[in-house]
Structure 1
Amino acid sequence: MDRAQIVHQNFLDRVAAGQLPAGASPRSGLAPETAVAVYRAQVLSRALDLTSRAMQKAGEGFYTIGSSGHEGMAAVARALRADDMAFLHYRDAAFQIARADQVPGQRIAWDMLLSFACSSEDPTSGGRHKVLGSKALMIPPQTSTIASHLPKAVGAAYSVGAARRHRPEHQVLADDSIVMCSFGDASANHSTAQGAINTAGWTSVQSIPLPLLFVCEDNGIGISTKTPTGWIESSMAGRPGIKYFKTDGLDLYEAYATALEAAEYVRARRKPAFLHLRTVRLYGHAGADVPTTYLAKSEVEADEANDPLLHSVRLLAEAGALEPQEALKIYNDTCDRVERIRTEVVTRPHLKTGADVAASLIPPARACTPTNGVPPEKRAETFGSDMRAMDEPQPMSRLINWALTDLMLEHGEIVMMGEDVGRKGGVYGVTQKLHQRFGPDRMIDTLLDEQSILGLAIGMGHNGFLPMPEIQFLAYLHNAEDQIRGEAATLPFFSNGQFSNPMVLRIAGLGYQKGFGGHFHNDNSLAVLRDIPGIVIACPSDGAEAAMMMREAVRLAREEQRVVVFVEPIALYPMRDLHETKDGGWMRSYPAPDQRIALGEVGIDGDGTDLAIVTYGNGRYLSTQAKAELEAKGIKTRIIDLRWLAPLPAEALLEATKGCKHVLIVDECRTTGSQSEGLMALFTENGVTALARHAAGDCFIATGPAYAATLPSKDSILAAALDLTGGAK
């Protein structure tokens, strides 16, 4: 027999024989009927684990990472309210089952078996993955195995207090809610977990409300790597700003009492707490894992002898809540019921086509209260002396600032967060005055941790806010890219569109900063963003377009619940001149607040038919410089500005280049992994043969005079265009 069957048979034999493990007497505080309900949840969790393995062997199921040994989380669930948002460790089936008991109308065994079978009727993911989660149970799904859900739990907890001060239209959490996130002792070591825990303490010591309960389920091992004895307690018990609690997850009465104490502390004090829950891991990591290949058999058997269900049977008997034979009957009846449901579940339909699978990548639109603009007197009061400057052309940085001001005036749920965005007004002054205009609640200066910045945004999005996080430089995104790739972008997909975390992520980036910072501040690669399904990537090239695209980005996030990445070319922030010093050729007037550039709408400059230059960002600026010389040589040129890098505006691009003899793609990103690759494929597949691309070299950017040596320039664009078209006409 495998370990799962051994644990199963041990339970049957030991309960029947009365051979139950010793332990403390049951603590008071848990009513008999509630204690029995917790046990029933534990038993159902165990039965589902057994069945999941049988389903996999029969080719009917596709997931075997179980919750056996972690059934103490059922007691934790009963210590919380059903409307407390919970971000769960993947071993927390018992928590979800126990919570389902608190919410009428649930069919938790049926629903979870549908997820094992990856049926399209699975109410959580629609058959896309086996994930814990439920809209009705306030459990957003995630597949996190490395605690990458902890930063957004911090953000969701922060949003509870923020919503008291500025109520978002789509608020989800009650004013006295707390947020719980659970994770294993192994993933507690991950930088994502450490960053989130540090952020929670950093926030708490400043007396900022953060009602968050961390629950670390300590089974002493991560797959095959043991956690050093005492490591979690010694590393977590003294964290500033976070109160530490420790309890035994094998004892449902003890676990409930301590979890209730921790939850009440968090709810009353509005401060974070850390609940250290002792567990054991039964069966090994997953179905394919054989623990006796890396652990002594005696160690495996010692954990099996500490089966939480055996402890529960003893404790319930000592408390007078349930006799052992009744407990055994519940176990057998539950296993039989799960097996009956399994025979029905495996006949339910599955996703069949790529379109079926991809249907939930983009969340559904939501109804939003119409806004009729901002009263003129309120707008004038907010802008102050800036109102007089609006009649004059301005550089991009100032027009983005004004667009953000108008958007924050119109939509009170917009919150910005990032390093230096508040009092300083951003490294480049793009957010200057916004702190004075809207206060620290809406312009949040964060600690220096990109994972926490994005987690704060994702979590606040869960509670109805419209977050606009800022990553100070594009290169810094790589410290936290999984928060977009693995969390924000996947949430609608894994929840079948039931959950979303809309945001507009602003990133200052790309190349051409003269001699400043090398590749840390001149990063010309967007490859890490280009292949994330479902997100929108915007990149403006002048100030007026930046303002109008920013308004569309906010509309997409607010109404369509999209994740939008807004890449702002740093070198164009201060750009004033185009051809000659002081010609002011790249400054623009501020467009009226109701003007937008729609998603997928490309920009077209000129109507020449000899050459179409397809580009974006700094490439448009440089191509516009080259265009004057090309036309002086008789080459009639038009410039097509992509604006929207994802999803690629394919039809608009093909239409914009129609009738042109030659197409030149100018891409400031590196040749490998750049937009130019997709554009070359698009035009080639649609019959464009007079085609070439000119992109940056596959190299990092240098500091000093050679800052632009690897990047396209006006002269290199001119040379590439002449080479493609055959030279002067």
Structure 2
Amino acid sequence: MDRSAIVHDNFLRRVAAGDLPAGQPADGPLSRADAVSIFRSGCLCRALDRKSRAMQAAGQGYYTIGSSGHEGMAAVAAALRPTDMAFLHYRDAAFQIQRAAQVPGQSIAWDMLLSFACSTEDPISGGRHKVLGSKALNIPPQTSTIASHLPKAVGAAYSIGMTRRQKPEHQALPSDGIIMCSFGDASANHSTAQGAFNSAQWTSYQGIPMPLLFVCEDNGIGISTKTPKGWIGATFANRTGLKYFSCDGLDMFETFKVAQEAAAYVRKRRRPAFLHVRTIRLYGHAGADVPTTYMKRQEVEAEEANDPLLHSVRLLAGAGALDPADALDIYNETNARVERIADHAVKRPRLKSADEVMASLIPPPRSCRKDGGPTQEMRANTFGNDMKAMEEPQIMSRLINWALTDLMLEHGEIALMGEDIGRKGGVYGVTQKLIGRFGPSRVIDTLLDEQSILGLGIGMAHNGFLPMPEIQFLAYLHNAEDQLRGEAATLPFFSNGQYTNPMVLRIAGLGYQRGFGGHFHNDNSIAVLRDIPGLILACPSNGADAAMMLRECVRLAREEQRLVVFLEPIALYSMRDLDQAGESGWMTHYPDPSKRIGFGEVGQHGDGTDLAILSFGNGLYLSRQASKQLEKEGVSARIIDLRWLSPLPEAAILDAVTGCRNILVVDETRRTGGLAEGLMAMLTERTDIPHSRISAEDSFIATGPAYAATMPSADSIFEAALSLMTVPA
């Protein structure tokens, strides 16, 4: 028999018979009226869980991971302010229901049933997923997260303290607020969670404000794997910089009292706390899960006998707040109300087309004040001697540094964060002097953890900052790519554009470093970035372009709320010469701060018609060298700098190759999964011009003399071009 039906029948029978579980009497500051409100939230949570299973069985609903057993989270919600942003565990329907009771004008049962039905009228996701979340309730949506939301909770908490020093234009959180982040006991073991705990402790240990309340809902099991008894308490009770609180989640009075104490500690001390809420899990993991297949029936029945709603009836009666008979009436009336509402919700429209599903991949633009840019006096005071240096051509790394300086002068909400970017000035000197110019609160030296760096950026974006995190090397991104894929990029999608993560992530990457680092410091794979929907990937090939593209990337993030990755070719950071030593052919002047290269705008060198070479980054540099050899062979070529690698600027590319008799794609990324695959497919589908490609081998990169052996060279580009042009039509 369905366990949800068993629990339901047990509740009806035991309340009617006065057969309530034993426990401590009601005690604490929870008022009678609030206690009844929390019970109502628990009843609605339970009714929705049961209805979700019935809807799925009838083909009308599509989600059955429930919150039954975790009804105590309603008491946690009651202890917090509705302005305290909450990143919720997927079993926290009771929390969201109770928070809705704190905010006028909510129709929470209707809203959640629409989400079960995947209706386009679901006010949070627009029918894309059943998620907890609400803009009105300050609950950003989460999917079935396994701790991936914890790093951004750390970032959001950090941002609250930062607003007291630097108020962003689009500030969303009150300066006296706190961040709440909840998760299960099994998720607490995830490396992402452990990194977030450590980051919060590391920050607090240094006296930096971190108003963050971690809430662990400990039901003792992760799907079918039990958490060792006492594990959560043993591992979190004595952590440096993390205050531990514990309560019985079956007792709403105790839970409210302890949650209120924990929230007061975080709000007053501006330090993180860990609230350990002991709960149970009813019905198994989800609708298709049968707990008796991996647990003894006696264990399952013992949990069911400890039903938190039964405890609530006992506590309410003991406190003189509600008679059991009245509690039973509320329970039955709630079930009947959910049935009536569901009958209407299942008839509401659903998404039908790809266009409808994808409509929220790209967030909406937002209105931004026009700062007008820094004055010349401000620039002179900030740049100092660098103003004189701007009169001469410079290497790429220095021009990026100057562009960052101008952007940070113009937009006070920009903050940089990453390993070694402050006092050291970055591994390659790109961020030199910035900490002196803007201070450590805007140029943040982080701990060595890429997930925490990206989480800091994502969280700060929730509070109106424009984060510019740095990942030291492209290979290091793979430690943390889910923060882009599973959190930043999905947020506008699952919130129907109501929540966004505007951000410019700078990554030093690609290959061709001479004799340094091997595959960890020379990584030529960008596949993981190109297949994230909604993400913009930009890659400059020279210093002037880097400065102008970086300005456009900031505009895209600031005004269009886009998630942007700016990939900086390490080998070109300090490149000076193009054809021969001392000729400074790859150095450029710093472009006027008003100049930008627009999103999707490609570059072109030459106007030959024999051959068009499509490339980017180091490939562009090598193609320029190869073009000199081709010219000696009588080949007139034009070289197209793609600049924007995802999404590909297809219209601009096709326009740029018009009139050419051949096209060669030069791709320094790997043959399998590399950029050339998309380019070749586009050219095959949309042109009749003969085309071929030269790519890097499917290999990691070696250290030492063979550093470039697996990638295109000027000579191999030259040979590939001649080979293409001699192939019979």
TM-score (norm 1): 0.99
- Distance in 1, Cα, partners of 2:586 & 2:300: 70
- Distance in 1, Cα, partners of 2:689 & 2:228: 63
- In the TM superposition, 1:522-601 aligns within 5 A as 522-601=522-601
- Distance in 2, Cα, partners of 1:80 & 1:65: 25
Matched residue, 2:340: 340
- Distance in 2, Cα, partners of 1:598 & 1:325: 68
Matched residue, 2:701: 701
Deviations for 1:640-666, whole angstroms, at most 9, x for unmatched residues? 011000111000000000110000000
- In the TM superposition, 1:183-194 aligns within 5 A as 183-194=183-194
Q: Which residue identity does 1:692 align to in structure 2?
A: S
**Cα offset, 1:515, TM superposition:** 1.1
SS in 2 for 1:430: coil
Deviations for 1:325-346, whole angstroms, at most 9, x for unmatched residues? 0000000000000000000001
Matched residue, 1:138: 138
Is 1:68 paired with 2:56? no
Matched residue, 1:108: 108
Gaps of 5+ in 1: none
SS in 2 for 1:165: coil
Matched residue, 2:408: 408
Matched residue, 2:175: 175
Matched residue, 2:5: 5
- In the TM superposition, 1:74-85 aligns within 5 A as 74-85=74-85
The answer to whether the 8 Å contact 2:425/2:433 transfers is: yes
Matched residue, 1:428: 428
SS in 2 for 1:43: helix
Is 1:516 paired with 2:516? yes
- Distance in 1, Cα, partners of 2:221 & 2:531: 34
**Cα offset, 1:236, TM superposition:** 1.0
SS in 1 for 2:604: strand
- Distance in 2, Cα, partners of 1:240 & 1:642: 50
Aligned CA RMSD, in angstroms, stands at 0.8
**Cα offset, 1:633, TM superposition:** 0.8
Q: Which residue identity does 1:14 align to in structure 2?
A: R
Deviations for 1:13-49, whole angstroms, at most 9, x for unmatched residues? 0000000000001112011000000000011000000
SS in 2 for 1:164: coil
- Distance in 2, Cα, partners of 1:443 & 1:589: 26
The answer to whether the 8 Å contact 2:158/2:210 transfers is: yes
**Cα offset, 1:689, TM superposition:** 4.3
**Cα offset, 1:687, TM superposition:** 2.8
Matched residue, 2:389: 389
Q: Which residue identity does 1:315 align to in structure 2?
A: L
SS in 2 for 1:133: strand
Is 1:471 paired with 2:471? yes
- Distance in 1, Cα, partners of 2:322 & 2:579: 86
SS in 1 for 2:695: strand
Matched residue, 1:665: 665
**Cα offset, 1:459, TM superposition:** 0.2
SS in 2 for 1:365: coil
- Distance in 2, Cα, partners of 1:316 & 1:377: 68
Is 1:369 paired with 2:369? yes
- Distance in 2, Cα, partners of 1:298 & 1:108: 36
Q: Which residue identity does 2:335 align to in structure 1?
A: C
- Distance in 1, Cα, partners of 2:67 & 2:516: 52
- Distance in 1, Cα, partners of 2:680 & 2:289: 45
- Distance in 1, Cα, partners of 2:376 & 2:22: 74
Matched residue, 1:149: 149
Is 1:232 paired with 2:227? no
Matched residue, 2:295: 295
Q: Which residue identity does 1:540 align to in structure 2?
A: P
- Distance in 1, Cα, partners of 2:308 & 2:629: 78
Q: Which residue identity does 2:29 align to in structure 1?
A: G
**Cα offset, 1:428, TM superposition:** 0.2
Deviations for 1:588-641, whole angstroms, at most 9, x for unmatched residues? 000000000000000011100000000000000000000111011110000001
Matched residue, 2:163: 163
Runs of 4+ in 1 over 4 A off after TM superposition: none
SS in 1 for 2:164: helix
- Distance in 1, Cα, partners of 2:512 & 2:232: 47
Matched residue, 1:355: 355
Q: Which residue identity does 2:33 align to in structure 1?
A: E
SS in 2 for 1:101: helix
SS in 1 for 2:669: strand
Q: Which residue identity does 2:203 align to in structure 1?
A: T
**Cα offset, 1:142, TM superposition:** 1.1
Q: Which residue identity does 1:611 align to in structure 2?
A: L
Q: Which residue identity does 2:460 align to in structure 1?
A: M
SS in 2 for 1:351: coil
- Distance in 1, Cα, partners of 2:149 & 2:686: 42
Q: Which residue identity does 1:460 align to in structure 2?
A: M
Gaps of 5+ in 2: none
Matched residue, 1:284: 284
Deviations for 1:304-340, whole angstroms, at most 9, x for unmatched residues? 0111000000000000000000000000000000000
**Cα offset, 1:53, TM superposition:** 0.2
Q: Which residue identity does 1:423 align to in structure 2?
A: R
**Cα offset, 1:145, TM superposition:** 2.6
- Distance in 1, Cα, partners of 2:146 & 2:131: 15
SS in 2 for 1:244: strand
The answer to whether the 8 Å contact 2:661/2:689 transfers is: no
Deviations for 1:240-273, whole angstroms, at most 9, x for unmatched residues? 1000001000000000000000000000000000
Q: Which residue identity does 1:604 align to in structure 2?
A: Q
- Distance in 1, Cα, partners of 2:52 & 2:542: 56
Matched residue, 1:502: 502
SS in 1 for 2:142: coil
